Amino acid sequence: MQKSKKEPASPKTGFARLFELAMMKKPLVIGSLILSTVAAVLSFVPHISIYFIIHKVIEALPDVSGADAGYIIRWGWIAFAGAVGNILVYFAALMLSHLAAFGTLYRLKVEFTSHLARVPLGFHVLVGSGKLRKITDENIEKIEGFIAHQLPDLAAAISAPVLLCALLLAVDWRFGLVTMAGIAVGLFIYARMVGNEGYQANMDRYQRALEDMNNATVEYIRGISVVKAFRQTVYSFRRLYDSIKQYTAWIIKYTLQMQNGYAAAITVVQNVYLFVMPFAILIGAGVARDNAAAFSGFATTALFYLVLAQAVGGVIIKVIYASGTMMQLTGNVDAMDAILAEPELYVHPDPKPMGGCDVTFDNVTFSYDKDKEVEALSGVSFTAKQGEVTAIVGPSGGGKSTIAHLIPRFFDVSGGAVLIGGTNVREIDPHALMDNVSFVFQDVYLFKQSVMDNIRMGDPSASDERVYEAARDAQCAEFIEKLPRGYQTVIGTKGIHLSGGERQRLAIARAIVKDSPIVVLDEATAFSDPENEHLIQKAFERLMKGKTVIMIAHRLSTVRGADQIIVIDGGRVVQRGAHDGLLLQGGRYGDMWRVYTHASSWRLSKIKGANNG
């Protein structure tokens, strides 16, 4: 909503945005980063202690028994304290980072879901619940993992090498340089691979291929009953099959392309001693020749570097892994931000009451795409009067459902206006608008709750009596009473099956309870069989009494008695009038009527023929 105080979506992208998100709980995160750095420093204490111990031992050579035992034991304890301290401090760092991560997770989820509640309803139709679920459940959860684990590791991984480099150079700058050169070679190989312009593009492609495959899988599983019923194989689900093949082909190519660089980088970094060793041997040979007395000191230093080089490599590897995860994460964050950037439903700061219940389309134009290249509706004008039935008919894809969706503002018009009682729907309080419009669509969504609650959804304050009455009016009472637990039967539990027509009538009962002055029916009779149709018609009669009714129907028999019939084709009004008048005019409606009556008589004669034969 315009008046809400939500911060605007951040203009930052990529890593900058990721860090911005991570810093939502700044004190906790910074505390965790500091502790994690301290832990990393402590982790080197054992290595350094060993250096001092070895130094003492070598000093005492060849008679080791003469070494200063007290000194050695003291360093032994220091090494132990360093190791234990490292564990404890790291644990504390993770505690803080988890507190920060879950706090951030909570805030992001609340922000994201409340944004979803404020975008136009049609947005949900366009995007689909699968994608939104993935973002709330997976993308946002991964941000939690990043803050809780990768971020503290990263802090350690960046600060520790800086300290180490200083240490490496301080003890013996020649060894320091060699060790750092080894690491630099590894990082160079890695950077060349990552910096390669194809890499990021490949990463994106990988994500997309994975997403495609996931979507196709979900679709396949949803439709599995149909597949089984029609004895289809997996090959019939072309999309799933193709997406798996595509993913496989691509991932193999990608992996082969990456394997050498990646393996080389990791191997070099993990085995820096390969650089230190030859250097140590070369220099050591020189020292032994020129100044034998200095050799023991030299050997200690060489040993120190061999031990430490390994520790440095381990830390650097963590940076490499963390950077890989971060690259994936930025994609996740981008997907979340794209949704957060979706404009919210405009709410007029000073809403006006509806002036009545006539629904008017005034020269309405509408496009689904943002560039407004294809118009789903062009210059549509008509008025549906209160107390009358206005039917909308026309070929599939003509724009009938789009008209229905514009009345309760699933979408806002691109041009012209939708008015209720003379007031632009954009100026009406959205809650009031929802209270005044009921719709029954072809797909009836029933909640996994009792029949009673499902009907009462139309008006949560309705008494049991009113629910029973609505069920009777909607011709539901009979089948509901046959359910195992009557009105308390929970829909969706095992063994409870409602037919399409029954679901439809439940939706009508819901609308009767709601009792709003404007009723929109979009192909609400689509599921009815001849026996059901009669019941649904009776249910409608009760629902429509005294209301502004906009009825979309493909079965022309249902609209025959409408006060006004609007014929829509290609997003335009091509004819309007009552049934008889339209038939006299000929044109589109006449054609449709002839096709329709021909089809139904054909169906009838087929049935009769079958019965006779």
Ligand X SMILES: Nc1ncnc2c1ncn2[C@@H]1O[C@H](COP(=O)(O)OP(=O)(O)O)[C@@H](O)[C@H]1O
C-beta closer to ligand X: residue 339 or 376: 376
Q: From the list 360, 401, 475, 548, which residue makes contact with ligand X (rule: CB under 6 A)?
A: 401
Helix (H) or strand (E) holding 176, with range, is helix 173-195
Q: What tokens were used for 337?
A: 């931000």
Residue range at the interface with ligand X (CB under 6 A); choices 257-265, 397-405, 426-434, 572-580:
397-405
For the chain, the first-to-last Cα distance in angstroms comes to 65
- What is the longest distance spanned by two Cα atoms in the chain? 122
d(CA 377, CA 412): 12
Site string for ligand X, 156-195 (x = CB under 6 A): ----------------------------------------
Q: What tokens were used for 198?
A: 């194809």
- CA distances in angstroms from 563 to 153, 482, 551, listed in the order given: 71, 37, 11
Decide if residue 376 touches ligand X (CB under 6 A): yes
Residue range at the interface with ligand X (CB under 6 A); choices 237-245, 390-398, 413-421, 528-536:
390-398
Decide if residue 233 touches ligand X (CB under 6 A): no
Amino acid present at 27: P
Residue range at the interface with Mg ion (CB under 5 A); choices 149-157, 205-213, 396-404, 537-545:
396-404
Decide if residue 397 touches ligand X (CB under 6 A): yes
| 3-class state of residue 59 by DSSP | helix
Query: Got the DSSP string for 324-364?
Result: HHHHHHHHHHHHHHHHHTSPPPP--SS------S-EEEEEE
Q: What tokens were used for 472?
A: 């009777």
C-beta closer to ligand X: residue 231 or 370: 370
Q: State how beta strands 572-577 and 437-440 pair.
A: unpaired
Q: From the list 398, 408, 416, 430, which residue makes contact with ligand X (rule: CB under 6 A)?
A: 398
- Compute the least distance from the CB of residue 445 to ligand X, in Å: 17
Taking each continuous run of H as one helix and of E as one strand, the counts in the chain are 24, 10
Q: Of ligand X, Mg ion, none, which one sits near residue 421, judging by CB under 5 to 8 A according to partner kind?
A: none
Q: Of Mg ion, ligand X, none, which one sits near residue 206, judging by CB under 5 to 8 A according to partner kind?
A: none
| 3-class state of residue 480 by DSSP | helix
Residue range at the interface with ligand X (CB under 6 A); choices 161-169, 215-223, 302-310, 400-408:
400-408
Question: Which residues are 420's β-sheet partners?
Answer: 359, 423
Q: Of ligand X, Mg ion, none, which one sits near residue 378, judging by CB under 5 to 8 A according to partner kind?
A: none
Query: Got the DSSP string for 549-588?
Result: EEEE-SSHHHHTT-SEEEEEETTEEEEEE-HHHHHHH-HH
Identify residues 27-46 at the interface with Mg ion (CB under 5 A). none
Question: Which residues are 383's β-sheet partners?
Answer: 360
Identify residues 397-426 at the interface with Mg ion (CB under 5 A). 401
C-beta closer to ligand X: residue 266 or 550: 550
Q: Of Mg ion, ligand X, none, which one sits near residue 179, judging by CB under 5 to 8 A according to partner kind?
A: none
Binding residues with ligand X: total (CB under 6 A)? 12
Is the bond preceding 278 in cis, omega lying within 30 degrees of 0?
no
Q: Of Mg ion, ligand X, none, which one sits near residue 125, judging by CB under 5 to 8 A according to partner kind?
A: ligand X
- Compute the least distance from the CB of residue 399 to ligand X, in Å: 4
C-beta closer to ligand X: residue 99 or 574: 574
Residues 80 and 43: beta-carbon distance below 8 Å: no
Strand ranges in 501-562 using DSSP code E only, listed in sequence order: 518-522, 548-552
Q: Of Mg ion, ligand X, none, which one sits near residue 496, judging by CB under 5 to 8 A according to partner kind?
A: none
- Compute the least distance from the CB of residue 264 to ligand X, in Å: 48
Site string for ligand X, 333-372 (x = CB under 6 A): -----------------------------------x----
d(CA 296, CA 302): 10
C-beta closer to Mg ion: residue 116 or 573: 573
Neighbours of 520 (CB within 10 A): 25
Identify residues 505-534 at the interface with ligand X (CB under 6 A). none
Nearest to 328 by CA among 139, 109, 144: 139
Q: What tokens were used for 363?
A: 């020269």
- Compute the least distance from the CB of residue 528 to Mg ion, in Å: 16
| 3-class state of residue 450 by DSSP | strand
Residue range at the interface with Mg ion (CB under 5 A); choices 110-118, 146-154, 394-402, 417-425:
394-402
Identify residues 555-594 at the interface with ligand X (CB under 6 A). none
Residues that bind ligand X (CB under 6 A): 125-126, 368, 376, 394, 396-402
Residues that bind Mg ion (CB under 5 A): 401
